[in-house]
Structure 1
Amino acid sequence: MPRILIVEDEPDIARVLRDDLALEGYDAVVVGDGEAAHAATTSSPFDLVLLDVMLPGRDGFDVCRDLRRAGLTMPIIMLTAKTQESDKVMGLEIGADDYVTKPFSPRELRARVKAALRRAAADAPEVYRFGQIEVDFGRRELRAGGAPVDVTAIEFKLLAAFIRHRGRVLSREQLLDEAWGRDVYVTDRAVDTHIVNVRRKIEPDPAVPRYLVSVRGAGYRFEG
């Protein structure tokens, strides 16, 4: 389930965006200013950001610039009532992927969100390599030293989530959403068990993890 961060200080607009995206199957989170956006993106992974330009305090241009400086690569779609070409050019030059002017139709925004997520997926490497490991997303295969490794569907989803958010801590709750979805009841213990299984397949020494490390009290982080 793709996670979308909505940065919008108008409660009515934020609620409409959140509810509309939720109906499309997205996990939408709302924050009201730039500081909250920074906190949200540093503590939790998102697949796309909808960013209003006119925010209290720091405007959306500053927020977009900071997200890119922090090395975050998820698509950013800026939302604004400003229609001047110079504003659109500025947004795109500082790292936004798209620029939507208000008022906009929910249908148009949904289409732009889908297109941005589709482009991001297309830009992802077909095969991701680290150490002696190859993760083939096209074939949904795991290989070690060129030899195929048996991997379950859940294990592959977990590994794909870690690679997609490499360098960031993922909580057990986030991993549950990534691998099983929100409609399935799975215990934290089950997540830990699957992590152990993944380590056995990717780590030179599973007892001393190099790639899939535990972060006490927070979750796990992939460092491949």
Structure 2
Amino acid sequence: MRVLVVEDEKLLAETVRRGLSNEGFVVDLAPDGVSGLWAATENPYDVIILDLMLPLKNGYDVLKELRERRIWTPVMMLTAKDGEYDQTDAFDLGADDYLTKPFSFLVLVARLRALIRRGAPERPVVLRLGTLTLDPAKRAVARGDAAIALTAREYGLLQFLMRRHDQVVSKAEILDNVWDPDFQGGDNVVEVYIGYLRRKIDVPFRVQTLTTVRGMGYQLSPDRPGHDGNTPETMPDGGAAAP
């Protein structure tokens, strides 16, 4: 398993290199965005760890250029910036995961292995599921011709669900991928935002695409007829929509 680490903090880069080497990874280091972009373009990697604040070319630009060149290697953003807009921008540009400093090395290794198992599928420019579309470049969501306004958190949640459409995803998976790593609240916040999202992408259009699978999590599927919005939504498993 070959990893590219693009990190300008020499001590941190060397620490990550030694640790990953001990875990069986082959690690290349790049100290700035320009050399990191060159290495990622010229060599095959299983995964890339990319710092956000880099000399010569920042991590956002490196990631954007990689995806524009149709290089789909999984990218984990590793950065001290932990705002939700920073994460949303990274995911919009094609990042696969986001880990903030300081971080647990065990968590880093586990996430890298998960990204490698997932592989590097080509990302479509616009995500589509039935009549629902999400355009990462414009950060725009629509159902058919009707635009849907979402908050940053709702947008991040929908993007995560659309990338895993037809799969059942747990609250823990959603928290790990949509919320900040240091979020201290309970997982009930996921139910709340699922409810917010459902009221925007389903209820006004009388379709039922975002469903609850009792005891397991949530699933986003293509369009099917839904309720009229005047009564609590009933899920296929017998559950009810989150408030």
TM-score (norm 1): 0.53
Correspondence for 1:25: 24
What amino acid maps onto 1:68 in structure 2? Answer: R
- What is the distance in 2 between the residues matched to 1:112 and 1:41? 19
**Within 2, Cα distance between the matches of 1:87 and 1:109?**
19
Aligned position for 1:190: none
> What's the counterpart of residue 218 of structure 2?
none
Q: Secondary structure at the match of 2:78?
A: strand
Gaps of 5+ in 2: 123-243
- The amino acid of 2:105's aligned partner reads P
Matching residue of 1:11? 10
Output the aligned Cα RMSD. Answer: 1.4
Task: Output the CA distance in 1 between the equivalents of 2:33 and 2:69.
Answer: 14
C-alpha distance in structure 2 between counterparts of 1:44 and 1:110, whole Å: 21
Q: Distance in 1 between matches of 2:63 and 2:112?
A: 17
Residue 120 (1) aligns with residue 128 (2): no
Deviation at 1:39, TM superposition (A): 1.6
Match of 1:45 in 2: 44
Amino acid across the alignment from 1:45: P
Aligned to 1:113, what secondary structure does the other structure show?
A: helix
- Alpha-carbon distance, 1:42 to partner: 2.5
Cα deviation code 1:170-198 (max 9, x no counterpart): xxxxxxxxxxxxxxxxxxxxxxxxxxxxx
Give aligned pairs, total.
122
Instruction: Kindly indicate whether the alpha-carbon contact (under 8 Å) linking 2:41 and 2:66 is maintained by their aligned counterparts in 1.
Output: no
CA drift at 1:47:
1.1
Identity %: 43
SS at match of 1:87: helix
Q: The residue matched to 1:74 in structure 2 has which SS? A: coil
Cα distance in 1 for residues equivalent to 2:38 and 2:93? 20
CA distance in 2, matches of 1:109, 1:38: 22
- Normalised TM-score (structure 2): 0.49
Does residue 1:63 correspond to 2:62, yes or no? yes
Q: Which structure 1 segments of 5+ residues have no match?
A: 125-224
Amino acid of the residue matched to residue 89 of structure 1?
T
SS of equivalent to 2:119:
helix
Structure 2 equivalent of residue 72 of structure 1: 71
Deviations 1:37-81 (A, max 9, x none): 122122221111000001012210110101111111110000111
Moved >2 Å (runs of 4+): none
Task: Give, in angstroms, the shift of residue 12 of structure 1.
Answer: 0.4
